[in-house]
Amino acid sequence: MLVVAAHPDDEILGCGGTVAVRVDQGWTAHLMIVASGIAGRFADPSAHQEEFAEQRVALEHNARRAASTVGFSTTRFLNLADNRLDTVPRQNIAHAIDSLIDEVRPDTIYTHHPGDYNWDHGVVFDAVMMAARHSPGEFAPTELYTFEVGSSTERAAPFANRAFLPNTYVDISAGIERKKAAMQIYESEYRPYPHPRSVEGLEYSARKRGLDVGLEYAEAFCLIRRVER
């Protein structure tokens, strides 16, 4: 499986429990993080180069630790402009994702819901759709899913064409503790309750998705495409 996330911590929030469970089942999980996750906090990142560089190094270190906690085998960083992915040609992002798809040949891809409040998420979704397209003679994943990210998906405008409407649920009872532990590693991204990026927030969200389908804990996804042969 390949997870393509816009920012460090999106992968844990969106599908950290599923990764942990699938790795236990024998899957190999790969991660690509597209944007730096830091520069968006500065109106003018060029005026804070030293501070930005230090924070990015620390965040990448924590991202690798968090990824290892839930079971990712590899983690790649593109380090593109955080919260400014609309300034980067989507074709460039798609080519980078396509190269990784050709390298690891995933059966399944997980990425962002296109209707999220954070515009970087929509850019990444579009790039994944292009990179994972099915064309004769080319490798493409069998399944493509989108996930929800607390503090982004639920903050989107409440319009039908932007809503996250899950149709697939994964029992993460065996992975919820690793998901919570991984999120706490993200010192710069973690927030106290009642923020969605708190331990309690992750717990309540997983319980709510579990209640949707009669499980103790679950993560919810939208199946975008499945190709059966």
Domains within the chain, CATH numbers bracketed:
2-226 (3.40.50.10320)
pLDDT band at residue 42 under the 50/70/90 scheme: low
Q: What is the CA radius of gyration of the chain?
A: 17
Band (147; pLDDT cuts 50, 70, 90): very high
DSSP 6: S
Average pLDDT, the chain: 94
Q: Would you say residue 40 has pLDDT above 70?
A: no
| pLDDT at residue number 177 | 98
User: Is the pLDDT at 181 greater than 90, yes or no?
Assistant: yes
Task: Please check whether residue 218 is in contact with residue 210, taking contact to mean a CB–CB distance below 8 angstroms.
Answer: yes
Which distant-in-sequence residues (6+ apart) come within 8 Å of 187 by Cβ? 58, 62
Average pLDDT score over residue span 34-42:
72
Query: How many Cβ atoms sit within 10 Å of the Cβ of residue 98?
Result: 20
Region of 102 (left: φ > 0; alpha: ψ -120 to 50; beta: rest) is: alpha
| pLDDT above 70 as % of the chain | 94
